[in-house]
Amino acid sequence: MMNRDEPAKVWIRDRFETNSIVALYLRLNMSPNFGCKIAPVPMSEQINIVDLIDSYFTAYNSARLREICHLLQQKVFREGVTVGLSLSGAMTPAGFGISTLAPLIRHGFIDYIISTGANLYHDIHYGLGLSLYSGSPFTDDIKLRQSGQIRIYDIIFDYDVLLETDAFIRRLLMSESFQKRMGTAEFHHLLGKYIWETEKQLGIENSCLLATAYECGVPVYTSSPGDSSIGMNVAAVALEGSQLIIDPAIDVNETAAIAYSARETGTNVPGKSAALILGGGSPKNFLLQTQPQIHEVLGLEERGHDYFIQVTDARPDTGGLSGATPSEAVSWGKVDPHELPNTVVCYTDSTIALPLITAYVMHQCAPRPLKRLYDRRLEMVTKLKLDYLMAKAEQAKEEKSPETSLAKVLQNGHRPKQVATYPCGTPIRNGHT
């Protein structure tokens, strides 16, 4: 008599054998669309940040965040890569300048920064020992105004924090060292120097972003110098006779020179350029436009950034720059088309992503030597200028040289048609004149 469990056992055996054959077939004919198998396991109480991201960030934007961590670890935070960071959104009021960005700078992972002026302004609060507090985003703003308090979503602080910071900046701006024309890298370097000295006097243990950048020789630019309380104070002292002039052209040339020099490391390691973008807006474009400045405007070699990593909540379908994708950037010459596999966009809040990314790379990546690009600005701009002027001179020589024209006539049997060019030397195409 057959055991009543026997049919179930036979079914299980047949199903197991069939599935084994199917599994073998799939392994031998694996689709190129398959990545790692999703094999969930219960989370341990002792899980660390690396295991959390590697094992549990399996899909959607968690997977994109994992890909960012892996790309930074395996390719970007390596010898020979020059890393530019663009920073937008209210990151420093929440303390991320000190808690996450300063450690990345000290470990040599960030070589230059392009930030909104507001992030740099609110960073100074911490360097002066002023206090900001967690609060509720649903606080009555009319009552806050009446009580002399300011709100940045769920961060609340006294109005006096702004006034104290303004007074500190104003005193510095009237000093002799600021009475000249300069770019924002030099301007922020000077600010960082005095903030760093103030921190030491106040006994502040953890330096703010600007003080850390000063200490580590990391140039800090802002794409819109007038669009912050720092710029507002610069405008105010101008009414009092200050000779300080912030010159954006200096910034455009310096950042282009950094990107241009990124390919030359002075070693056998090939140089590459990486764009690490938190948020979007003007700082994102200012970082990416370094490449079109090199080839579109100056007529030098077209390359594009090698790595493009962005954390954003902006959609690409509205046409705004904040949400523009790496592939769209290829059409502008901002990103090397051959390096599209080395681009990742994660659609999430930077205040969520940045601490996770920082913890991961601090655990997984060895510190890099500081490049101290601030100290090399003149050297890099001089090289960019010489190459640009040489290219223009060569172009003019070819256009005017009778020997060249005669050689072309003898070679082709007729005088070549004069080709119109744009200022950078690129031929005018499609009948445009």
Residue with tokens 């020099």, as numbered in its chain: 261
334 catalytic, yes or no?
yes
Q: At what angle do helices 248-261 and 377-400 cross, to 10 degrees?
A: 90
Residue 78 token pair: 């390596």
Residues 300, 323: Cα–Cα separation, whole Å: 28
Which residues in 214-306 belong to E strands, given as ranges? 220-222, 245-246, 272-278
Residues 391, 300: Cα–Cα separation, whole Å: 7
Please count the other Cβ atoms lying within 10 Å of the Cβ belonging to residue 145: 12
Residues 266, 109: Cα–Cα separation, whole Å: 19
Per DSSP, 317 falls in state G
Where does residue 68 rank: exposed (0-12), middle (13-18), buried (19+ CB within 10 A)?
buried
Residues 297, 426: Cα–Cα separation, whole Å: 9
Beta bridge partners of 221: 114
Catalytic one of 180, 193, 272, 334: 334
| Residue 38, CB-side half-sphere exposure with 13 Å CA sphere | 7
State residue 115 phi and psi, 5-degree precision: -130, 160
Residue with tokens 């140089």, as numbered in its chain: 271
Residue 372 token pair: 């101290």
Residues 402, 386: Cα–Cα separation, whole Å: 25
- Is 284 in contact with 334 (CB distance < 8 Å)? no
Residue 221 parent element (H or E): strand 220-222
Angle at 271 between CA 268 and CA 272, to 5 degrees: 150
Active site residues: 334
